[in-house]
Amino acid sequence: QKEVEQDPGPLSVPEGAIVSLNCTYSNSAFQYFMWYRQYSRKGPELLMYTYSSGNKEDGRFTAQVDKSSKYISLFIRDSQPSDSATYLCAMRGYNFNKFYFGSGTKLNVKP
């Protein structure tokens, strides 16, 4: 079993829709949870990170962490065609520095 599981998609939504992206994980030692956006042929770009449980909002993006369920989510409100990319979740523990990534979910927002 992989440390981090993520549905690869692709996920196709109309412009303006609310998008929900999710990851599950198995290691209860994970404390930092990140979301990266990766456009085609580009490097991953950090969108948001959250420490421990709870919610974090930044503009149209909201990250949620539920450590009891080992489940994290990224919500995108009022999705735009420019949001079309692959979204990667990543996580690490407090006492170790290795980041574990999901395989990425490809999102397509149709105009």
Partner 1 sequence: GAGVSQSPRYKVTKRGQDVALRCDPISGHVSLYWYRQALGQGPEFLTYFNYEAQQDKSGLPNDRFSAERPEGSISTLTIQRTEQRDSAMYRCASSLARGGREAEAFFGQGTRLTVV
Least Å from the CB of residue 101 to partner 1: 3
- 92/104 Cα distance (integer angstroms): 16
The interface with partner 1 within residues 1-60 (CB under 8 A) comprises 4, 6, 8, 32-34, 36, 42-46, 49, 51
Using CB under 8 A as the binding criterion, the count of chain residues that bind partner 1 stands at 26
- 61/18 Cα distance (integer angstroms): 10
Residue 6 vs residues 35, 78, 85, 105: alpha-carbon distances, Å:
12, 23, 15, 7
Q: Which residues bind partner 1 (CB under 8 A)?
A: 4, 6, 8, 32-34, 36, 42-46, 49, 51, 88, 90, 92, 96-104
